[in-house]
Amino acid sequence: MNARLILAAILVALLPVSAHAAGRPIRAEDLFKISYVGAPQISPDGKYVVYVVSKMNGPDDRYDTNLWLTDVASGNSTQITKTRHDSRPTWSPDSKVIAFVRSMPKAKSQIYTYALSSKKITRITNMKTGADSPNYSNNGKMIAYSSTTTDERPGAQIDFAAAGFKPKKNQKKSDVRQIDTMHFQANGAGEVYQYHQHIWVMNADGSKQRALTSGNQWTENGASWSPDDKTIAFNSLRRDDPYGGPNDIYTIPVDGGTMQKMAETQVANDLIGFGHHSNRLWYFAHDVRDPAESPSLVSSNPDGSDTKQLVAKNTIAWGDSLIADMKEGGGLCYNMTPDDKSIILNLDGPGYAHLVKMSASEGTMTDLTGPQGEAYGCTASADGKTIAYNYADWSHPQEIYVVSADNPKPRALTSFNAEYLKSVTVSKPQMFTVKDALGYEVQAWFLPAVGPKSGPRPTILDIHGGPETQFGDTFFHELQFLAGLGYNVVYSDPRGSTGHGYAFEEALVHHWGDAMLDDTNLVMDQVIKRPDVDSNRLGVSGGSYGGYATLWTISHSDRYKAAIAERVVSNLMSENLTADFASTNGLGGPYDWGMPWDANNTLMAQSPLTYANKVHTPLLILHGTEDTRTPFSETMQEFAALKILGATVHYVEFPGENHDLSRTGSPLHRVERLRISGDWLGRYLKP
């Protein structure tokens, strides 16, 4: 951003900002009114887009998901399934059939097909272990898919005759868990050591189902068909690895045979897939020691020979990492053009995610969607000319858009949330920047309070999680809800945030607390100069790393009169050993602050728990009981310490919820969470 734009942004930020509409303020319960539109798949002929529409179901406290179909030319939309349990659509190469996954309650997921001409829905799998992630071969004659096996429970190690009684049926099998692998649990999935996902293939009509991979120790995913449909490449890590992040690429003949591991130069290699014509693979390659590292894009033969680096590491922020409560980042979407000369994909920019067309030989790029909003989930027609994708911005939840690769003029294809948006007032964020002590431009946004009252308002600083994510131009219901309660909301991308370059992200690595606090303090120093901000009524909040950051902030400053910290990290020593991604690298490893058992490590110096005796701000702390990303003990340590110290702290526990409560938690819990948070802020800040 040039100096003129920076100055203009700051000057505008100092002025009161009006809201976007004239309806009522946004409520917590509006989550039930929003349609979550996603997973677009454009037909190979470019005529239709199939996608998933999800709605929160209050009475059943669940999410209903159905498939919809929209004509690209006319925009006419049709709901094609109504079971409320359908997802993951994909097209046959002739654009005549849609395969999808149906996940009925108390049953294993199975694959179905929908024929466009007859509108007939047919079940094509009936597997005891379930079926998921269908993927048509290039000629359309076969489908690769995944199925997950579960280890048999061993027999109980009890001599029942010696014990003197006959066991009941459920007593014959042991429920004792014997675990050898380090990463045996995953957030949202619980203990996963006994589950093994394998690759299967079948004819397109569901006949001749057979497993390509098997075993009771490893998992495979990301299947990609070779151009001649004779080989499938996939990701797998077939060893117990304590480092967290390594991955290998394998190939296996479709007709069966021995899998071959690709020779690799890096420890982490994530498959993108085969091209359309050449028998080459494209993949990301990187190390795992530097948590800020952005991988290089590499192409090679399936055995790893003739390796060519197309994009060097730490030069491009791949995918979409924008964070909000509609979802957590859209990830990477990736499409090769038919001639294998270009790649259509999404990239992070500062405060946005956009689609580009990149030369596969030069790395040069053409922007398709512009430097605004959040574009993700892209999928291209067979000729590579029409792209369907998800798009959201500050005023609109995600909808389906289309754009031409040759003449980029994005066009909205759906408008499921249009009527809802007409009924509410959406506060318009105002972007501004500050320069920190290292000379970095820190991007921030001011979201003004909604309502008839004028004059200085209480103001909340919200700190994002990650820390390798970013805030930006996307719809954030929770922040709009706070604005609707009468609070100004400030959010920013301090050091460590993605989308702002490798150096900016890496600048947080060695001092998680201080660098963040320095940048957010500068942001708030600018904010309190506004006439619509009451500097005596400031609050701070955040979840995950943002929860850590909130604890760090209130233990190093008395600036804030109320705080909300969710799914926190309070002790980096225990987090480093107990989180589901615990490892010797990344968080707290030798690249950062040393090993937990090393007397010279600096983990405790970077832990908020160390400074608990300096907390004077009333704190609300929230956690889900099934959270393994930031384990339950992280909250308990901070809560107990503050109670012992006589500080004002209130703990709220959400049963059965994992680390993604605010995004994918049960509908009732998501709404109640917002209401509890609003009550806490009102108690101390009185909007």
- Which CATH homologous superfamily contains domain 3-22+420-571+607-685? Alpha/Beta hydrolase fold, catalytic domain (3.40.50.1820)
Q: In what order do the strands lie in the sheet with 260-261?
A: 220-225, 231-236, 248-253, 260-261
Q: What is the 3-state secondary structure (H, E, C) of 117-186?
A: CCCCEEECCCCCCCCEEEEECCCCCEEEEEEEEECCCCECCCCHHHHCCCCCHHHCECCCCCCCCCCCEE
State pLDDT tens for residues 87-104: 999 999 999 999 999 999
Domain ranges of the chain: 3-22+420-571+607-685
* pLDDT score at 576: 84
> Among 183-197, 470-484, 618-632, 636-650, where is mean pLDDT lowest?
183-197
**Beta-bridge partner residues of 360:** none
Neighbours of 93 (CB within 10 A): 17
Taking 90 as the threshold, does the pLDDT of residue 33 lie above it? yes
Tell me if residue 3 falls in helix, strand or coil: helix
Q: Do 395 and 324 contact (CB within 8 A), yes or no?
A: no
* pLDDT score at 658: 94
* pLDDT range class, residue 585, cuts 50, 70, 90: low
Residue predicted with more confidence, 687 or 332: 332
Separation between Cα atoms, residue 495 and residue 518, nearest integer Å: 9
Query: What is the pLDDT averaged over residues 375-390?
Result: 96
Cα end-to-end span (Å), the chain: 35
| pTM confidence score | 0.93
Cα–Cα distances in angstroms (integers) from residue 588 to residues 598, 603, 628, 682, in the given order = 11, 7, 17, 36
- Alpha-helical segments (H) within 438-490: 477-485
* pLDDT range class, residue 7, cuts 50, 70, 90: very low
At a CB cut-off of 8 Å and minimum separation 6, what does 307 contact? 265, 298, 299, 300
* pLDDT range class, residue 592, cuts 50, 70, 90: low
Reading the block at residue 611, the tokens are 């400074």
Percentage above 70 pLDDT, the chain: 95
Query: What is the pLDDT averaged over residues 599-608?
Result: 88
Query: What is the pLDDT averaged over residues 44-71?
Result: 97
Angle at 96 between CA 90 and CA 102, to 5 degrees: 40
DSSP tag of 473: S
Reading the block at residue 88, the tokens are 């993951």
State pLDDT tens for residues 525-540: 999 999 999 999 999 9
Cα torsion 9, 486, 658, 29: sign? negative
Reading the block at residue 549, the tokens are 């950051």
Taking 50 as the threshold, does the pLDDT of residue 262 lie above it? yes
Separation between Cα atoms, residue 677 and residue 563, nearest integer Å: 10
State pLDDT tens for residues 430-460: 999 999 999 999 999 999 999 777 789 999 9
Query: What is the pLDDT averaged over residues 166-171?
Result: 93
Separation between Cα atoms, residue 575 and residue 608, nearest integer Å: 12
> Among 198-212, 321-335, 603-617, where is mean pLDDT lowest?
321-335
Neighbours of 399 (CB within 10 A): 21
Taking 80 as the threshold, does the pLDDT of residue 123 lie above it? yes
Query: What is the pLDDT averaged over residues 592-599?
Result: 77
What is the average pLDDT value for the chain, to the nearest integer?
A: 92
- In total, the chain counts a number of residues equal to 687
- CA atoms lying within 13 Å on the CB side of residue 28: 15
Residue predicted with more confidence, 61 or 184: 61
Taking 70 as the threshold, does the pLDDT of residue 271 lie above it? yes
Q: Do 516 and 549 contact (CB within 8 A), yes or no?
A: yes
